[in-house]
Amino acid sequence: MAISKVLVIDDSIMIRKMVKSILADKFEVLEANDGMSGLDSAKKTSPDLILLDFVMPKYNGYQTLQALRRVDTLKDIPVIMISGLREQVAENVPEPWDFDFLEKPFEPEVLISRIDHLLHTGVPIGAAPIQTDDSRNSQRVLDRLTATETLLAQGIENLIQREVVARVNALASRIQKHEAALGILDKKLDAVSQKLEHQNKGLMIILREIKALQTQVAK
């Protein structure tokens, strides 16, 4: 069975390399760093799916998508549009969408699941419904709440890290003090051992002298 080809069109080399590392075990991954080169690559390679960044210089994701749809051999290729903000795509691309959408940052398993689903069914599952002003306002509030939650989580994580570091440093300081005390105790024990050894030698000499005197008296 032939391996499906996924063309990643993104001006960020970091995103391209990250996606390639995620997909390399399951798909043949092709890369393009802008819309024009992505269109040329698609014409030459006929990929099974295109992962398309929305924000790119000169030729953005929507312009690239329109160019793809005008080519007979490419117009039916499933596309997953990726962007850091869903509302940015919703405000600039007419609905209904004929592509799937995935918001950055995304989890590896979510990306693979979306690609598998689109390759097998051809039906996008991440396209946004038609939004009213109220729903867009709700989405903005949700985005802000999500950003606030992320900042709060990061702040809590930093506080925990600082507390852990402080406790580890305090523990290390206590261990050093104990080690220093043990070192002093070892020295004292060595000194006592040396004194005992000298005393034992003195006692042995005294015992020998006593035995010698006992022998002389017996004679």
pTM summary value: 0.55
Q: Residue 55: what pLDDT?
A: 87
Task: With beta carbons less than 8 A apart as the criterion, state whether 77 and 70 touch.
Answer: no
101 backbone dihedrals φ, ψ, rounded to 5°: -135, 140
Residue with tokens 């600082």: 162
Q: Comparing C-alpha atoms, which of 45, 178, 184, 23 is closest to residue 113?
A: 23
**What pLDDT is stored for residue 128 in this prediction?**
41
Cis peptide before 129 (omega within 30 of 0): no
Q: Tell me the per-residue pLDDT of 167-182, one tens digit each, with 9 for 90 and over.
A: 878 888 888 888 888 8
5-129 architecture in CATH?
3-Layer(aba) Sandwich (3.40)
pLDDT at 131: 44
Instruction: Name the residue with tokens 């032939």.
Output: 2
**Token representation of residue 101:** 């959408």
Q: Over the stretch 120-156, which tens digit does the pLDDT of each residue have? A: 887 776 544 444 455 445 545 555 655 565 556 556 7
* Angle in degrees, 0-180, between the axes of helices 61-69 and 35-45, rounded to the nearest 10: 30
Strand partners, 81: 52, 101
Give the type of residue at 207.
Answer: L
Q: Hey, where are the domains in the chain?
A: 5-129
The pLDDT, as a whole number, for residue 132 is: 47
- One pLDDT digit (tens) per residue for the chain, 219 residues: 678 999 999 999 999 999 999 999 999 999 999 999 999 999 999 999 999 998 888 888 889 998 999 999 999 999 998 988 777 777 777 677 778 888 888 899 999 999 999 998 877 765 444 444 554 455 455 556 555 655 565 567 667 777 877 887 888 888 888 888 888 988 888 888 788 788 878 888 888 888 888 888 876
Task: Tell me how far apart the alpha carbons of residues 41 and 30 are, in angstroms, rounded to a whole number.
Answer: 8
Give CA–CA dist 7/10, Å, rounded.
Answer: 10
